[in-house]
Amino acid sequence: MATVPALEKPTMTVADAPAVQPKTGLRKYWHLYAAISPFYLLFLAFGLVPVGFSLYLSFHRWDGLGSMEWAGLSQYQYLLSDSDFWQSIGTTIVIWALATFPMIFLAMVTAVMLNSAVRYKNLYRFAYFLPNVTSVVAIAIVFGSIFSTNFGLVNALLQAVGLDQVAWLNTPWGIKVAIATLMTWQWTGYNAIIFLAGLQTIPSDLYEAARIDGAGPVQTFFRVTLPLLRPTLLFVLVVSTVTGLQSFSEPQVLLQTTANESTFSGGPDHAGRTMVLYFFQQTFDNNDFGYGAAVAWGIFLVVVLFSIINWRLLQRRGEEQ
Amino acid sequence: MRLSRRGLLRAGLAGTAATALGGLASGCAVPTGSTGRNMVLWYWSGGLSDTVVKNAKARYDRSVDLDAIQIGGYYRSKLITTMAGNAHIPDIAGLKGEDMASYLPNADQFVDLRTLGADKYKSQYLSWKWDQGIADDGSMVGFPIDCGPVAHFYQYAVFRKAGLPHEPEDVSRELDTWEKFFAAGERLKKRIPGTYLLTDVNAVFENVVQQGSRRYVDKDRNFVGDREHVRNAWALAVEAKRRGIVSSIVNGTPDQISAKESGRLPSQLGASWATGDLKNEVPKTEGRWRVAQMPVRPSNNGGSFLSITKACREPERAFEIIAWLLNADNQAQGFVDAGLFPSTPASYGMKKLQEPDPFFDGQVTMDVFGPAAQKIAVAYNSPYDVALGQPIKDEIKNVGVLGKDPKQAWEDAMSKCRRIAKHLGVSY
């Protein structure tokens, strides 16, 4: 049945189209549209409508329950002057960088090792992928213990080699490092699997040629593997950027305390308050839904900006070739 | 019958459409509130005593189907989403104390309980708690469930070893000002090095603010977070840091729990419900703790309300159920089952609340919490308190944890508050 439209279309010419008319696209293929409609209907209800509503909301003042009040552009004006929002962008980028670059390095090393592993290949892949499907909340609780000051694993290791304790979750840099480590741990395996797929597309005759030309393993890696892995590398970078810029659960759970203080404030000096965490604080702590929506659109713009940078990187690569 | 792909597709579509239509139809049948017979009550796990809810179901079975639902997750956000969506709104809704300030400006979404005769119950409840459920326009939104009187928890043996007053009456009497409390902290640290009276400076700052009758924003939308009462709390918190009586431990971490267990954090200012937390966190310390009055005067932390939404079709019946659920007998049961501290003073003398607690080596903790609950000052709770209190709490934390210059921190907090106040339409 899929062949029917394909056969019919070329027989229609521009000239007789108005005369034939009877069954246009929608009437003829309605059942096909109906078949694909569930996704679009769900997307409309749970994607497009909320997106549109948040834009509408960002031009209002609303406490979530009472009546909305028109605010014009004032939420966006405040957003531009809000030093807390700018700080949260900086925090997000620093955490993203601290997490992403070590993660890419580790993932690549892991992938190369997995690629040359002979036995238990699938077991290793499964094991490396596991952190990615574990609940972030559970991971964050475990990492909270690992980084705790007096009984944490990290400080135990530091003391074992004769260094001083670090109050990881109580100093601005410690907090950032702890969150970044958590994200690195969570994403290394996932990206290693992607790198592995990339590695397996590299034809083995290239390696043979390199070997015949007398290249050692290090030279082979930098001259053959790395250049051919570049598309995969960029894919990994793009995905990590989009997820990294939206980090929320990691700092939220890692820095929450049992006391009745805000769980969205991100620790001392707001060291762990990422953009999305700041959005949550404005919306759900302060009940400032209008401003929260404006912050969400600010985050959207930052992500778009980074996506454009990534896209440009991809473009330049295309031109080079 | 031959199953063609097309036939299957049609059948599937028809099925989907029927389900969707069915869902739509049933959705329309009960747009808001109850049908009259059906009475929906929303609360959260531990928000009411399960025994009492079960008894209420049986008791009112002849007139209504009481459908009590425990809502998991972020309760407030689910309730306001449902109310804003104007569908399937519960008839009776629990309101958490910390969210009360954000519900009260929208009192028109709830039934004014005074119109149902709430006033005749007023004398049975703590007056400050009763007032917390009343909106600016005088309408009554929330009927009191529980409250959270704050007291001083401490470890008997550690205080004794440090040469401090250690019997509950002595602690209450002798550590009755912040000055004496801090002096005790210095002595504790000197006698048993590495031991601190409190976890962090926020424990001082927030408790002092909570003791007062004003917070950060007043009834007329003026920012008052720069006034004497907050400056005083700030100064006391800075002093606690200077005198070295607060630890560098992060609140809520395993470090804090282990310090409580080993006696290096032998003291804390906590609400009545902290008893339950202590029993869960440090069960091995059973028998070591005591409770005394906190310095100066008791404050409150937590406690919630029941309300009747505008969607309720039978407010009189709903109110009858609420008043029964929250009478003195049932509040006493709530304390036994779920640690909900009664807002009905008549409960305090009841036998089941006068039980000696082995965790406190047989002390009857009600002797401390009961009188404390009746001495709490009512403070105006503004919907802007959270937004305008947070920068000050954040900065005092920076002083305590990062050693930031207190003067600079105060200036930073105030400039942030000025900016936020302007944004929220609060006059600075």
Write the ipTM. 0.84
Q: Which domains does chain B have, with CATH numbers?
A: 38-147+302-347 (3.40.190.10), 150-301+373-424 (3.40.190.10)
Nearest CA in chain B to A281: B387
Nearest CA in chain B to A258: B252
Q: Are B42 and B95 in contact (CB under 8 A)?
A: no
Contact: A148, B254; criterion CB under 8 Å: yes
Least confident interval from A75-84, A216-225, B203-212, B390-399: A216-225
Least confident interval from A157-161, A267-271, B12-16, B381-385: B12-16
**DSSP of B182-247, one letter per residue?**
HHHHHHHHHHSTT--SBS-HHHHHHHHHHHSS--SB-TTSBB-TTSHHHHHHHHHHHHHHHTT-B-
For B19-31, the pLDDT digits (tens) are: 444 444 443 334 4
For B75-96, the pLDDT digits (tens) are: 999 999 999 888 999 999 999 9
| Nearest CB to B398; choose among A1, A34, A268 | A268
pTM of this structure: 0.85
**Strand B65-70, strand B38-43: pairing:** parallel
| Dist CA B306 CA B322 (whole Å) | 7
A9-41 exposure pattern, b = at least 16 Cβ within 10 A, e = fewer: eeeeeeeeeeeeeeeeeeeeeeeeeeeeeeeee
- CB within 8 Å of B199: residues ≥ 6 apart: B246, B247, B249, B251, B256, B265, B268
Work out the percent of chain B whose per-residue pLDDT is above 90: 83
**For residue B424, what are its two tokens?**
């929220």
User: At residue B5, does pLDDT exceed 80?
Assistant: no
| Nearest CB to A149; choose among B252, B255, B386 | B255
Looking at beta carbons, which residues of chain A come within 8 Å of B416?
A: 84
Contact: A258, B255; criterion CB under 8 Å: no
Q: Which value, to the nearest 10 degrees, does the dihedral of the CA atoms of residues A196, A203, A314, A93 take? A: 20
pLDDT in the model for residue B370: 96
pLDDT tens digit at each of 321 positions of chain A: 343 444 444 444 444 445 555 667 788 888 899 999 999 999 999 999 999 999 999 999 999 888 899 999 999 999 999 999 999 999 999 999 999 999 999 999 999 888 887 788 888 888 888 998 988 888 888 898 899 888 889 999 999 999 988 888 889 999 999 999 999 999 999 999 999 999 999 998 998 999 999 888 888 888 888 888 988 988 898 889 889 999 898 888 888 765 545 678 888 889 999 999 999 999 988 899 999 999 999 999 999 998 888 878 766 655 554
Nearest CA in chain B to A169: B250
Looking at beta carbons, which residues of chain B come within 8 Å of A170?
A: 248, 250, 401
SS (H, E, C) B349-379: CCHHHCCCEHHHCCECCHHHHHHHHCCCCCC
| Dist CA B384 CA B334 (whole Å) | 31
B227-262 exposure pattern, b = at least 16 Cβ within 10 A, e = fewer: eebbeebbbbbbbbbeeebbbebbbbbbbbbbbbee
Higher pLDDT, B12 or A91: A91
Looking at beta carbons, which residues of chain A come within 8 Å of B105?
A: 63, 66
| Nearest CB to A257; choose among B250, B387, B419 | B250
| Dist CA A121 CA B420 (whole Å) | 56
| Dist CA B259 CA B266 (whole Å) | 8
Helix (H) / strand (E) element for A142: namely helix A136-146
Higher pLDDT, B284 or B4: B284
Q: Which domains does chain A have, with CATH numbers?
A: 12-76 (no CATH), 83-320 (1.10.3720.10)
Contact: B301, A260; criterion CB under 8 Å: yes
| Dist CA B10 CA B4 (whole Å) | 10
Single-letter amino acid code for the residue at B103: Y
**Which of B80, B206, B250, B310 would you mutate first to test chain A, the one with the most A CBs within 10 A?**
B250
| Dist CA B155 CA B287 (whole Å) | 9
Q: Are B172 and B292 in contact (CB under 8 A)?
A: yes
pLDDT in the model for residue A141: 84
For B254-296, the pLDDT digits (tens) are: 889 999 999 999 999 999 999 998 999 999 999 999 999 999 9
| Nearest CB to A144; choose among B10, B249, B253 | B253
Nearest CA in chain A to B396: A268
**Which of A37, A65, A289 would you mutate first to test chain B, the one with the most B CBs within 10 A?**
A65
Contact: B254, A169; criterion CB under 8 Å: no
- CB within 8 Å of A115: residues ≥ 6 apart: A196, A199, A200
Contact: B77, A284; criterion CB under 8 Å: yes
Our CA-based measurement puts residue B91 at a distance from the nearest CA of chain A, in whole angstroms, of 17
pLDDT in the model for residue A21: 58
The dihedral through the CA atoms of A65, A70, A76, A77 has a sign that is negative
Average pLDDT value over all residues in chain B: 91
Whether B336 and chain A come into contact, CB under 8 Å, resolves to no
